[in-house]
C-alpha cells in the first residue's frame, strides 16, 4: 500500500468520522484507484482490453471469494453470473435505446435474484449440494440461452449497440466502469471481512455446527453471502457484454471463465482481500500469453488452467499472499524461541474476591459443598420424558430432570448414558426427539437451533470447537443473540461488543491472548475461550460438557473458581463431568443418568452413597457399601443398570 | 404405442446410466468426494475404446476387458498421486482438485483426439430387433445387458469379497471400520479405482450409443449428478432407481417436447430434489446435514 493512499484514506476517515473497522475498505479503494486510474491512458487498445478483462476477473474473483473463500462454500459456476448480467443487458438493449451502462445495474439485480433462488435450494444442505447446484446452474443457464431463441437469439447470440463515443478515447469508458466495479468489489470484501456478516461467514467455514450453537442463523448468512457474491459480477457482466458487443451462449457461459475465477482467488489467497486481485493480475496476462502462443488450440488452454489449478490445490492451497505472510513471519522470528503460551496469573478483582475458605482448597480434594438447599427454587430448564434413538441405539429413554434457577447442577453417569445427547437435544443440534424441553417455562424443543441461544442458553463442547483460524477476540465476538440486517453490517471486532469481549477475556484470565489465533492456544485455554464466547450471549444457563476433561490441573482450579463466581452473579450451570471430586465440590444437586434415564437426583453427599448410583457405575447389585472413589475421575464403563422408574426421577431423601 | 416405445428405450438407457452413475455414487458414499472428473474419465474410456476398435476392429463391448483394468489403473494412480495428497485438507480442496482434473483431462483429450465428434460403429450399430410392434436397437440392447452384467459383478464384489465388505464398512462408519482392522487409506484407493473402473465398461458401452467429443463430459457429469442426487448420494440401489427414472424422463421429454430440452430434466431434478428432499430417494440423512 502506498503511503499516499494510506494518508488520503486516513484523512478521509478522520474527517468524515468513518468508523475504524471501515477504514481498511476505504484505504483499499484509495490504493486501487491511485494505482490503476492512470493506466487506462495508454494509446494501445490491446493493453486496454487486457486491463479490462483483468478487472472483470478481479470483480468476479472477489465475488467468488465471499461465498467460497469466506464461507467455504465452493461455487464452480460463478462465471454464470457474468453471462446472466450480459444477457440481461443484451436482451433489454434490443427493446430500448437506453445506454447499456445504465442497464448494467439491472444485470446485477438479475444475478442477485437468481443467486437468491439458488441460495434457497442450496442453503438447506451442506457443501456438496452447493457444489452440484452451482455446476447445474451454469449449464442450465447455457442451455436456456441456447434454447429460448425468441428471447436470447439462441446460438446466433445477440449483438449489442456499438459505443456512441468518439473513437479517440478508445475503450476508456469501459476501463473506468470496470475499474469502479473492481474497486467496489475489493472494498466490499474488505468491509464484509470486518463486519458481523464476515465474522459469521468465517465461522460457518470453520465449524458450521458450532456457529449454529452460538446463535448464528447460518442459512440466512449463507444466502446473503451468496447474493452479495453475485451482484457485482452481474453488473460487470453487463458491462462486459457491451464491451464485447456480441454475446452467445458458448462464450458467455464457458466453464473456463469459472475455472479462471476460482484459480485467480486460489492463487492469490482464498479468503484474503487482496488475493483475488493479485491472482487476476497474474492470471489474465498468462491467459493472453497462452492465447498468443497457441492461438485457438483449446486443448492447451484447458491443460494449462486445469494443470495450474491442480498444482495450486496440491502445492500451495493457501495461495501466494498467505504463504508469503507466513514466510515473512517465520523469517522475522528466526532464531528466536517461540514464546511459551503461559496461563497469565489471574488477580481476582477485590470486588469479586472469592470467599476466604475457597482459595485454599486444593482442586482435587473432595469437599462436599454445603450451600443452601435448592429444592424450592423455580426450575429454569425442565426436561420431561426426553427420548432419542440413533438407529438401533437408544441414547435417551424417557429422561426427565430439571435445573433449578441459580444452581450448579451436575450431570453424571457412565459413558454412553446419554449426557451429551441431553446437551445436543436441548441446544437443538440434534433434532427429532420425543419428550419436551422447557426453558424459563417456555417450550423450546421445536425452536430452530440458532434461536435457542438467544433465549439465554449457552453451551461448551467436550472437545472444544473454537474457530481455530480466527483470533481469540474474533471468536468471543462471534456469538449473536439477535439477527438484523443493520446488525450484520456493523463492525465485527469494534465498539461496545469488542469492549465487552475484552472484559470477558480478562474475566477468564486470557486478556493477553485476544489477538492470538485460537488454534494456537492450549486445550484448557481453548475451553476458557469457549466459556467467554458463551458468556457473550449473556446466558441464564450455561451447559458445560466436561469442562475439566483433558485440562491441566492448575487450570481446573481456576475454572472451578470462575464457575462459582459466575454462579454468584446469577448464572445457572448444568455441568457434565467425569472428574468426581470436582463434581462433588462444585455441584448441588447432582443428577445421575444411566442407560438414558435419570436414576437419581439430589445433593452430592446423598448421591455419593446412593446404592443405585454405585450399581450403575460399578455394575454391581447396588449393595456396595463404599462411597464413590475419591481419586480423580470415576471408574467408567461397567454395565449400566438403570433401575429408576421409567420417566420417573427419584429424589434422594436428604 | 409411442409411449410404450419411449418408456422401453428409456429403461434401456437407464440401465446403462445405472452403471455410469454407480462409480460416482460409490466414491461419494465411501470418501465423501464429488468426483467432478467422472464425466471426463468416461469420455476418455470411450476414446480408448474408439482407438482399440479403429486399430484392431475389436468389438467395443469386448473392449471392456481392456478398458476396465486400464481405467482401474488410472483411477488408482490418480488417487495415490493426487487425491491422497489433499486428504487432510478441507473437502472443498478435493472438489477443486477433481474439477481441475476434469478440465485438464478434457484438454489432454482435445490435443490427442482433437475436438471432433467420434462414434464407434460396429456392424449391428444401426439395426434393431422387432418384438411385438416395438423395436429394440441392437446396440442399446447389448449395451444395457452388458451394463447390467457389469453392475451385477460389481454388486457381487461389494457383498461377497473381503475388500468389498471393507468398502461398505468404510462407507457406513469410518471409525468402526478402522477399529476392526480396515485400512481406510487403502480402501479409499481401491474404492476410487473401482469407481473409475466403472467408467471403463461404461465408456465402452457409451461409445456405440452416442457420438462423443472431449467437451461432452460436461453433459455426462450433469446427467450423472442428477441421477445420484435423485437416488440419494452414496446409495447404489438409489443410483439404479434414479438412473431408470431419469432414463425414462429423458426419453419422454425428447419424444414429446424436444430433444433440446431433455438435458434440462436433469438440471431441474437436481434443483428440485435438493430443495425438497436433499437425501434423495434412498439416501440416508446425514447427521451433519440436518443441523443446517
pLDDT digits (tens, 9 = 90+) for A407-461: 899 998 888 788 888 888 888 888 767 888 888 888 888 888 888 888 888 888 8
A594 three-class SS: strand
Residue A370 confidence (pLDDT): 43
**Of residues A253, A194, A594, the one with CA closest to residue A417:** A594
Mutate: best of B92, B232, B242, partner A, most A CBs <10 A: B92
Distance from CA of A547 to the nearest CA of B (A): 24
User: SS in 3 state form for A323-355?
Assistant: HHHHHHHHHHCCCCCCCCCCCCCCCCCCCCCCC
For chain B, what percent of residues have pLDDT higher than 90? 63
Examine the pLDDT at A11 and tell me if it is beyond 70. no
Three-class HEC string of chain B: CHHHHHHHHHHHHHHHHHHHHHHHHHHHHHHCCCCCCHHHHHHHHHHHHHHHHHHHCCCCCCCHHHHHHHHHHHHHHHHHHCHHHHCCCCHHHHHHHHHHHHHHHHHHHHHHHCCCCECCCCHHHHCEEEECCEEEEHHHHHHHHHHHHHHHHHHHHHHHCHHHHHHHHHHHCHHHHHHCCCCHHHHHHHHHHHHHHHHHHHHHHHHHHCCECHHHHHHHHHHHHHHHHHHCCCCHHHHHHHHHHHHHHHHHHHHHCCHHHHHHHHHHHHHHHHHHCCCCCCCCCCHHHHCC
3-state SS track over A136-196 = HHHHHHHHHHHHCHHHHCHHHCEECCCCCCCHHHCCHHHHHHHHHHHHHHHHHHHHHHHEH
pLDDT > 70 fraction of chain A, expressed in percent and rounded? 80
The residues, ordered by sequence, that sit 6+ positions from A625 with a Cβ below 8 Å of its Cβ are none
Helix-helix angle B217-231:B91-113, to 10 degrees: 140
pTM, two decimals, is 0.82
Highest mean pLDDT among A246-260, A415-429, A471-485, A600-614: A246-260
Give tens-digit pLDDT for A280-296: 999 999 998 888 887 76
Q: Residue A339: is its pLDDT beyond 90?
A: no
Q: Rounded to an integer, what distance in angstroms lies between the CA atom of residue B25 and that of residue B195?
A: 8
Beta pairing class for A572-576 and A541-545: parallel
Q: For helices A45-64 and A275-294, what crossing angle results, to 10°?
A: 130
- Over chain A, what is the mean pLDDT? 80
Q: How far apart are CA A89 and CA A91, in angstroms?
A: 6
In chain B, residues 24-83 whose CB comes closer than 8 Å to chain A: 28, 32, 34, 36, 82
Q: Which residue has the higher pLDDT, B193 or A562?
A: B193
Least Cα separation, residue A305 to chain B (angstroms): 7
3-state secondary structure of A382: strand
Q: Is B93 on the interface with A (CB under 8 A)?
A: yes
Please give the Cα distance from A477 to A638 (Å, whole number). Answer: 42
Question: For residue B285, what pLDDT is reported?
Answer: 52
Q: Map residue A363 onto helix, strand or coil.
A: coil
Closest CA to A340 of A538, A512, A208, A556: A512
Q: With contact defined as beta carbons under 8 Å apart, do B234 and B168 qualify?
A: no
**How far, in Å, CA of A290 to CA of B288, rounded?**
43
Kindly give the parts of chain B with pLDDT less than 50: 286-292
Q: What is the pLDDT of residue B222?
A: 94
pLDDT digits (tens, 9 = 90+) for B7-52: 999 999 999 999 999 999 999 988 888 999 999 999 999 999 999 9
- Whether residue B274 and residue A72 make contact (CB cut-off 8 A), yes or no, is no
Q: Give the distance, in angstroms, between the CA of residue A529 and the centroid of all CA atoms in the same chain.
A: 16
CA–CA dist A466, A488 (Å, integer): 21
Nearest Cα of chain B lies from the Cα of A138 at a distance, in angstroms, of 10
Tell me the torsion sign for CA atoms A521, A526, A530, A532: negative
> What would the pLDDT profile of B236-245 be if each residue is shown by its tens digit?
999 999 999 9
Q: What mean pLDDT comes out for the span A123-133? A: 80
| Residues A40-53: tens digit of each pLDDT | 677 777 888 899 99
Of A494, A403, A615, nearest to A199 by C-alpha is: A494
Contacts of A341 (CB under 8 A, 6+ apart): A513, A516, A520, A521, A522, A525
CB pairs under 8 A between A and B: 168
**Residue A543 in contact with residue A457, Cβ under 8 Å?**
yes
CB contact under 8 Å between B103 and A309, yes or no, is yes
Asked casually if ipTM beats, i.e. exceeds, 0.95, the reply is no
Give CA–CA dist A105/A239, Å, rounded. Answer: 9
- Taking the CA of residue B89 and the nearest CA in chain A, the distance in Å comes to 9
Going by pLDDT thresholds of 50, 70 and 90, the confidence category of residue A534 is confident
- Residue A572, helix vs strand vs coil: strand
Does the pLDDT at position A493 exceed 50?
yes
Q: What is the pLDDT of residue A375?
A: 58
Q: What pLDDT is recorded for position A527?
A: 86
- Pick the residue of B99, B217, B229, B257 with the most A CBs within 10 A to test the interface with A by mutation: B99
Amino acid at each position: 500500500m502506498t503511503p499516499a493512499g494510506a494518508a488520503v484514506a486516513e484523512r478521509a476517515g478522520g474527517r468524515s468520522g468513518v468508523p475504524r473497522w471501515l477504514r481498511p475498505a476505504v484505504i483499499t479503494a484509495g490504493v486501487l484507484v491511485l494505482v490503476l486510474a492512470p493506466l487506462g491512458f495508454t494509446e494501445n487498445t490491446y493493453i486496454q482490453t487486457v486491463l479490462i478483462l483483468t478487472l472483470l476477473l478481479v470483480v468476479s474473483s472477489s465475488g467468488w471469494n465471499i461465498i467460497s473463500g469466506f464461507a467455504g462454500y465452493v461455487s464452480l459456476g460463478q462465471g454464470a453470473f457474468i453471462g446472466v448480467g450480459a444477457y440481461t443487458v443484451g436482451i433489454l438493449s434490443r427493446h430500448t435505446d437506453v445506454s447499456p451502462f445504465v442497464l448494467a445495474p439491472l444485470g446485477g439485480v438479475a444475478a442477485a435474484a437468481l443467486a437468491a433462488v439458488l441460495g434457497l435450494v442450496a442453503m438447506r444442505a451442506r457443501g456438496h449440494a452447493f457444489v452440484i447446484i452451482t455446476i447445474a446452474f451454469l449449464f442450465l443457464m447455457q442451455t436456456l440461452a441456447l434454447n429460448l431463441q425468441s428471447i436470447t437469439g439462441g446460438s446466433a447470440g445477440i449483438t449489442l449497440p456499438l459505443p456512441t463515443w468518439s473513437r479517440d478515447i478508445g475503450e476508456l469508458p469501459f476501463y473506468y466502469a470496470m475499474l469502479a466495479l473492481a474497486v467496489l468489489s475489493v472494498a466490499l470484501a474488505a468491509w464484509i471481512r470486518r463486519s458481523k456478516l464476515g465474522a459469521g461467514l468465517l465461522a460457518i467455514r470453520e465449524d458450521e455446527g458450532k456457529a449454529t450453537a452460538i446463535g448464528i442463523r447460518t442459512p440466512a448468512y449463507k444466502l446473503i453471502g451468496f447474493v452479495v457474491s453475485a451482484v457485482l459480477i452481474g453488473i460487470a457482466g453487463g458491462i462486459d457484454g457491451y464491451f464485447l458487443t456480441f454475446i452467445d451462449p458458448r462464450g458467455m457461459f464457458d466453464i473456463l471463465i469459472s475455472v479462471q475465477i476460482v484459480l485467480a482467488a486460489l492463487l492469490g489467497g482464498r479468503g484474503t482481500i487482496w488475493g483475488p486481485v493479485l491472482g487476476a493480475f497474474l492470471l489474465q496476462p498468462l491467459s493472453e500469453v497462452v492465447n498468443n502462443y497457441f492461438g485457438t488450440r483449446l486443448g492447451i488452454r484447458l491443460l494449462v488452467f486445469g494443470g495450474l489449478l491442480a498444482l495450486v490445490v496440491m502445492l500451495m492451497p493457501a495461495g501466494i499472499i498467505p504463504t508469503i505472510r507466513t514466510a515473512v513471519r517465520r523469517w522475522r522470528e528466526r532464531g528466536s524461541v517461540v514464546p511459551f503460551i503461559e496461563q497469565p496469573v489471574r488477580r481476582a478483582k477485590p470486588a469479586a474476591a472469592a470467599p476466604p475458605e475457597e482459595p485454599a482448597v486444593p482442586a482435587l480434594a473432595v469437599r462436599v459443598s454445603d450451600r443452601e438447599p435448592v429444592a424450592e427454587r423455580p426450575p429454569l430448564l425442565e426436561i420431561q420424558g426426553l427420548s432419542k434413538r440413533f438407529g438401533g441405539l437408544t441414547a435417551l429413554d424417557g429422561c426427565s430432570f430439571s435445573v433449578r434457577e441459580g444452581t450448579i447442577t451436575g450431570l453424571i453417569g457412565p459413558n454412553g448414558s446419554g449426557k451429551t445427547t441431553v446437551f445436543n437435544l436441548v441446544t437443538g443440534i440434534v433434532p427429532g426427539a420425543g419428550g419436551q424441553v422447557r426453558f424459563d417455562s417456555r417450550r423450546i424443543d421445536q425452536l430452530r437451533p440458532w434461536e435457542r441461544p438467544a433465549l439465554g442458553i449457552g453451551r461448551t463442547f467436550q472437545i472444544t470447537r473454537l474457530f481455530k483460524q480466527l483470533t481469540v477476540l474474533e471468536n468471543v465476538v462471534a456469538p449473536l443473540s439477535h439477527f438484523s440486517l443493520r446488525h450484520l453490517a456493523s463492525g465485527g471486532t469494534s465498539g461496545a461488543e469488542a469492549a465487552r469481549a475484552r472484559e470477558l477475556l480478562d474475566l477468564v484470565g486470557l486478556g493477553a491472548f485476544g489477538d492470538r489465533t485460537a488454534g494456537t492456544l492450549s486445550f484448557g485455554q481453548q475451553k476458557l475461550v469457549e466459556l467467554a464466547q458463551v458468556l457473550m450471549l449473556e446466558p441464564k444457563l450455561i451447559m458445560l460438557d466436561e469442562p475439566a476433561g483433558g485440562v491441566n490441573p492448575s487450570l481446573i482450579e481456576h475454572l472451578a473458581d470462575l464457575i462459582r463466581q459466575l454462579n454468584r452473579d446469577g448464572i445457572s450451570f448444568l455441568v457434565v463431568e467425569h472428574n468426581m471430586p470436582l463434581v462433588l465440590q462444585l455441584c448441588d444437586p447432582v443428577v445421575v443418568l444411566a442407560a438414558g434415564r435419570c436414576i437419581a437426583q439430589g445433593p452430592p453427599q446423598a448421591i455419593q452413597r446412593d446404592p443405585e448410583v454405585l450399581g450403575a457405575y460399578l455394575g454391581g447389585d447396588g449393595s456396595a457399601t463404599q462411597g464413590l472413589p475419591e481419586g480423580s475421575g470415576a471408574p467408567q464403563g461397567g454395565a449400566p443398570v438403570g433401575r429408576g422408574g421409567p420417566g420417573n426421577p427419584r429424589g434422594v431423601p436428604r | 404405442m409411442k409411449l410404450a416405445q419411449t418408456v422401453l428405450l428409456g429403461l434401456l438407457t437407464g440401465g446403462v446410466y445405472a452403471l455410469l452413475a454407480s462409480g460416482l455414487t460409490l466414491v461419494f458414499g465411501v470418501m465423501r468426494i464429488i468426483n467432478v472428473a467422472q464425466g471426463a474419465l468416461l469420455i476418455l474410456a470411450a476414446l480408448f475404446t474408439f482407438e482399440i476398435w479403429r486399430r484392431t476392429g475389436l468389438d467395443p463391448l469386448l473392449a471392456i476387458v481392456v478398458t476396465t483394468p486400464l481405467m482401474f489403473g488410472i483411477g488408482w494412480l490418480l488417487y495415490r498421486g493426487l487425491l491422497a495428497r489433499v486428504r487432510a485438507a478441507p473437502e472443498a480442496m478435493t472438489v477443486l482438485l477433481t474439477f481441475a482434473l476434469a478440465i485438464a483431462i478434457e484438454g489432454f483429450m482435445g490435443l490427442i483426439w482433437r475436438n471432433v465428434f467420434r462414434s464407434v460403429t460396429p456392424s449391428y450399430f444401426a439395426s434393431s430387433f422387432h418384438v411385438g410392434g416395438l423395436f429394440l436397437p441392437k446396440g442399446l440392447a447389448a449395451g444395457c445387458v452388458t451394463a447390467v452384467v457389469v453392475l451385477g459383478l460389481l454388486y457381487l464384489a461389494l457383498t461377497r469379497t473381503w475388500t468389498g465388505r471393507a468398502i461398505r464398512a468404510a462407507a457406513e462408519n469410518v471409525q468402526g471400520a478402522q477399529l476392526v482392522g480396515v485400512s481406510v487409506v487403502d480402501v479409499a484407493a481401491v474404492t476410487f479405482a473401482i469407481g473409475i473402473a466403472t467408467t471403463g465398461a461404461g465408456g465402452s458401452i457409451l461409445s456405440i450409443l452416442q457420438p462423443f467429443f472431449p467437451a461432452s463430459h460436461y453433459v455426462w457429469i450433469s446427467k450423472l449428478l442428477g441421477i445420484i442426487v435423485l437416488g440419494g448420494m452414496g446409495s447404489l440401489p438409489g443410483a439404479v432407481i434414479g438412473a431408470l427414472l431419469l432414463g425414462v424422463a429423458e426419453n419422454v421429454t425428447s419424444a414429446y417436447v424436444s430433444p433440446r430440452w431433455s438435458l434440462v430434466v436433469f438440471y431441474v431434478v437436481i434443483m428440485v430434489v435438493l430443495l425438497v428432499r436433499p437425501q434423495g430417494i434412498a439416501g440416508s440423512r446425514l447427521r451433519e446435514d440436518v443441523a443446517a
